[in-house]
Structures are given as structure tokens and as C-alpha cells.
Amino acid sequence: MCGIVGYVGTRPAVDVLIRGLRRLEYRGYDSAGVAFFRGSRLEIRKAEGKLENVEKLLNSNLSSHGEATCGIGHTRWATHGKPTTQNAHPHQTGHVVLVHNGIIENYQEIKREIVAKGFHPKSETDSELFGFLVLQEMDRGANLTEAVRRSFAHVQGACSVVVMSEREPGVVVGVRNGSPLVAARDPLGGAILASDAQPLIEYTREVIFLEQGDMAVASRDGLRFFSLESGRELQRETATLDWSLEKLDKQGFAHYMLKEIHEQPTALVDTLNGLLDRVRTDPFPLAEQPGVKLLDSAREILIVACGTSWHAAQIGKYWIERWARVPVSVDLASEFRYRSPVVGPGTVVIGISQSGETADTLAVIRQMKEQRIPTLAVTNVRGSTLSREADAVFYTSAGPEIGVAATKTFTAQLFVLLLLSGYLSLRRGADSRAEIPAFFEQLVKVPHILADCLGSEAMTATRKAAAELVTSKGFFFIGRGYSFPVALEGALKLKEIAYIHAEGYAAGELKHGPIAMIDEGMTVVVLAPQDAWRDKTVSNLEEVKARGARIVGIGAASDSSLASLCHHWIPLPSITQGLDESLLPFLLTPILQLFSYEIATIKGTDVDKPRNLAKSVTVE
């Protein structure tokens, strides 16, 4: 979603803004812009498309921005109005300039009032309208901070804004009213604000995550916080970030996505170390934390999530029910929140979200809290809204994920869910508990096995199959048991980064309709590792083969009968033999990630920033 950066201090502001916006590019955007003070006048440069277009405008007249030490910048992901230069941010209304992230829900009402007063918005956006509100309040005598505060009283919807005015050069006012905003004091004087912490890391690790309803006022003298509701000054705690700049760079990989696929072993090790008390020698020694107490109290578990996180939840359901015998239901957050769900007593709700900012998932957590249902978060972002609003958090420690398509955060989410399953099995005295010590021994080896897998023949075979199938007119990914949600995730990856139609299906469901689509132009990717479902999956595969589809098989290296049915064979490395079937999703997933990555790079798509997508989906 939209990215915001605001800066005031001693450094060249436009440089800080552009570098900051670059770090937010991963969120997805379709136009960009900056505004900066030239003396006491504000100037704007904005353009459709990539940030480079704004840089071209800036470079064509260096003298205009070279001296500026205060400004705001924005990358826009269009919601209201097309992605044109006119609709790009910043928006100027008289002496007021602003950038905005989120949605003003009552924008039509505000627009009617503004037009009735004789104002003429220049864009189709909801964002621009906020500037008129601020302008009116300043004309009534309010200073910029107070005018922004009063204007917010007219606005409905979750959003954040950052505003400047020519009447107060060198002041940047930011408000968080839904969409996240993070602030930091610049050690050289002044302050920086942004939609997430990544633009700040270059200058400091000490950051402040604004709370809902906080205003931050930045000037050369530093940073102050006020309540949006009362206007009273607030004290806000600083958090120390543990992300390094080095971790944000591509480190020689062609794309962030490829780097992040290869970072999965480390992401799993870090997640394990973050959640377990490694001094203890018993299996699944979850470190003491509030989330553990909540889990202990669960009679049932409901997991809500969107997209890839929802796929992780589906696998989590299979695991928790298999290992711990605790009933689990899984819901898409966007569906759950608008129906009339029945959530029984004793239910604990888990919201899974790598970003911790997904609007629908957050909304469910809020609804549940209103009903006094205990809530848990699984997220990768410390300080994210989800992490702060849920009653307790289990963090994935995958490090920053820049590629829009989730990879390492997905496998890290899976790891958390599997750790919780094993813990609950022991805690509940489930029948499976006798198997748990041996299972735990295997589980701690998964990062190493995954690392081996990433360097194995499986990856060479995956690349080869991808290269030969790039022209396929469509793909089915099929599997049963744990492999079914992995198949859903494989299809999603291909759609989002390669823009090819793909569907994930439970292998047993193919004959209930979709098999009608199978012909020579289609490819079926079948996940049939050595598990309880392998034989059934293989018999479904025969039905597909008889209808002429190209077949890519992924299974145990020793499975020659499966290999003989496939046009392309991807053998899991022999190190995976004998592994508990619960662990196989960790080895199947990277193969499918790489498969999509290869097809996308051959097609030449923008792998790290696929069209129309955003990394953190803060609108419904």
C-alpha cells in the first residue's frame, strides 16, 4: 500500500525522501512524488509510474531542491482515482501540502461540502480533500498541528497523513489513525517519519511506533507527540530495531525474492531460537510468555488470515488436529468479519499476518477483543498493529521480507504453527505424545535439510521444468493432506509473480469439475511425497495423464513408479527419506517458490514488485 516519508533536519531532504521511498518500493505503487521547501515556498515533483520518473524531474533542475532540508514523499497505490500524475501525491491546496495512506470513507460527503464552499479539487482522490479541511482550519486561526487535529474530526476511515504548510516552514505533522506510521529522531538533529521502519534504519535503530490516534510533530528541534483526540502532549517509548541494513540488501541475488527463498533455513533457525527456551532439554520447550498461557486455556482454536498466511493457517489446522487433537477452524478474515460467526467459549483466535497490518485480519482481532475472546498474533513485524492489539504474540523471525510475494515469512509461519502443535500435544497428553521426542529431534533438523534441498538436484530439475513449461496455457497444482494447502500456495505464487492462470486443488476434487479443463495445453503439478496420501494422489494423477496434460511430479527420489508417470520429475533429496510427513511442506514449498520464480524471470515480469500487488494490504 502507499508509502510515506517525511523529513526535517540538517541533511539534504530530497535525498532522504527518495532513499526512504526506495526502501518502501516493495509495498507496491503506481505513482510517486515529493514536496520540499525552497525557502518558505513549497515545491512538488510527482509522476506516474516508477520513482525514477520523479528523480528525472528532480535531476532536470537540481538547484531547486539541493538546499531543501524539509519535505515529504509518497508512493501511491491507487484506490480512489486512476494512477495518474494528477492523482499522485503530494497534493497541494493553497499553502497546505500533504501525503496520505489509507482511505477516507466519507470522502463523498466531504467533497460535497467543499465544492459547495466554492473549492475545486484537482484530483479524483479522497486524499486531496483533507488539505481543504486543514486550509479552512488554518484560515480560522489554528496553527498547523491544531488544524490537522481538528480536520481529523471530520474524517472517517483508517488512514495516516503527513502535512506541511508554507505558513510554518520546517514543520512536518504526521497522524496515525489506522495505517501505520513510525517516527525517529535523527541523531544529526531533526526527525524522520515513515509508513514503516525501513527508511529509518539508515539513520537510527531507535524508533517510535505511533499508536492509533497519535500525532507526531517533527521540526529541527526534534519530535513531539500529541493526542489526536485531546491535543494533549504525550510521551512515547522508543523501541530498538534489530534489523540491519545489510539484511535489506540483495547480497548478490538477482531479486529479493530469490534471496528470500534462500534465507528460509536462517528464518527457521531464528524463529526457533526466538520461541524456544533452548537451555531446556525437553521437546518443544516454548519459552514462558503470555501466548503460552492463552494457548493452554484453548478448548478450540480459530485461525484467521488472508492470502499466503491463510494457506499457512490451513496447514496449521492439519498439524494441530493431528498432533494435539484440539479442534481448529480456519477462516478468511475478509469473510469472517462480515458474516455472523459463532465463536464458542473456550475459543482462542489466532490472527496470522506477516506484515501485521492487514486490514481484514486486524478487524477480526478487534471484533474478537470486543467480545472478550482471547486473541493471539503470529507476525513477522515487531511493533506492527497486530502485534500490539492482540493479547499476545508469537513472532516469526524471518527478518525483513522485501519481495512482495511472501516466501520466507510463509515457512516461518509454518514453523510457529508446528511448534505450537508439538507443544500442545504434550500439554494435552494427546495420544501422539509418545512420538513427540523423536518428532522434535527431526523438526530441529529441518532448517539444515531445507538448506540441503536448496542446493540439491531438485532445484536443477525445478528450473529445467519451469523453462520448458513457460508457455503452458494454465496450471493445476494438486495434492492431498498437508500437500493440499502447499498446492494452493504454489498456484498463488505463480499467479502473482508470473501472471499465469493457476489453480490449487485437493487432488481428490479434480474429478468433481475441473478435470473438464484438462487437455494437452495444461500442466498439472502434482505433490505426491511419501506420506499417507501418496497412493491416492497417484491414482488421481492417472486420470489427468489419460487426458493429455503435461505432468510435473514432485515426490521421493526412490518413487520410480511415480517418476514414470511424469513428463518432468522433481525428486526430493534422499536426506528427506524417513522424515515425518508433517515436515514435508517445508521441502515442497521452496520447490514451488523457485518454479514460479523461474517462470516469472523467463517471462520478464517484475518479480519483486508484481503489478497491482502491495506488500501490506491496509485497505479492505
Q: Which of 131, 265, 307, 374 binds ligand F6R (CB under 6 A)?
A: 307
Catalytic residue, candidates 317, 408, 609, 615: 615
Least separation in angstroms between CB 16 and ligand F6R: 27
Strands 522-527 and 550-556, by their bridges, are parallel
309 binds ligand F6R (CB under 6 A): yes
Residue 119 sits at φ, ψ, to 5 deg, of: -85, 155
Region binding ligand F6R by CB under 6 A among candidate stretches 215-223, 301-309, 514-522, 563-571: 301-309
Task: Say which of 2, 159, 306, 566 is annotated catalytic.
Answer: 2
Segment near ligand F6R (CB under 6 A); pick from 65-73, 112-120, 229-237, 351-359? 351-359
Report the distance separating Cα 418 and Cα 283, nearest Å.
12
Backbone angles phi, psi at 151, to 5 degrees: -65, -35
At 486, which helix (H) or strand (E)?
helix 483-498
Q: Does 425 contact ligand F6R by CB under 6 A?
A: no
How far apart are alpha carbons 537 and 545 in whole angstroms?
12
Interaction of residue 589 with ligand F6R, rule CB under 6 A? no
CA distance 370 to 181: 24
Q: Does 617 bind ligand F6R (CB under 6 A)?
A: yes
Near ligand F6R by CB under 6 A: residue from 264, 334, 353, 596: 353
The closest of 464, 472, 467 to 517, measured between CA atoms, is 472
Answer yes or no: 464 catalytic. no
Q: Which residue is nearest to ligand F6R (CB)?
A: 307
462 binds ligand F6R (CB under 6 A): no
- Sign, Cα dihedral of 297, 364, 421, 481: positive
Residue 305, beta-bridge partner list: 332
Cell of residue 168, nine digits:
510554518
Residue of the chain from 198, 308, 462, 483 that contacts ligand F6R (CB under 6 A): 308
Residue 355 in contact with ligand F6R, rule: CB under 6 A:
yes
The window from 99-107, 127-135, 303-311, 512-520 that contacts ligand F6R (CB under 6 A) reads 303-311
Question: Which of these segments, 225-233, 302-310, 341-349, 588-596, binds ligand F6R (CB under 6 A)?
Answer: 302-310
Annotated active-site residue 615? The verdict is yes
125, 361, 387, 483: which one binds ligand F6R (CB under 6 A) = 361
**In degrees rounded to 5, what are phi and psi of residue 25?**
-55, -35
The span of 119-127, 239-247, 249-257, 349-357 binding ligand F6R (CB under 6 A) equals 349-357
Contacts with ligand F6R: how many residues (CB under 6 A)?
15
Task: Count helices and strands (H / E) in the chain.
Answer: 21, 25
- Is 219 a binder of ligand F6R (CB under 6 A)? no
Instruction: Quote the least distance from Cβ 414 to ligand F6R, whole Å.
Output: 13
The verdict on 406 binding ligand F6R (CB under 6 A) reads yes
360 with 337: CB under 8 angstroms?
Answer: yes
* Residue 250 CB burial class (10 angstroms; 0-12, 13-18, ≥19): middle
Residue 536's contacts (CB-CB under 8 Å, 6 or more residues apart) are 480, 507, 508
Q: Is 472 in the site for ligand F6R (CB under 6 A)?
A: no
Query: Which one of residues 358, 385, 396, 530 is an interface residue with ligand F6R (CB under 6 A)?
Result: 358
Q: How far apart are CA 377 and CA 390, in angstroms?
A: 6
Residue 140 CB partners (closer than 8 Å, separation 6+):
none
**Cell 512482495 appears where?**
404
CB closer to ligand F6R out of 354 and 411: 354
DSSP 82: -
Q: Which residues are catalytic?
A: 2, 615
Q: Footprint of ligand F6R on this chain (CB under 6 A)?
A: 306-309, 353-355, 358, 361, 405-406, 492, 496, 616-617
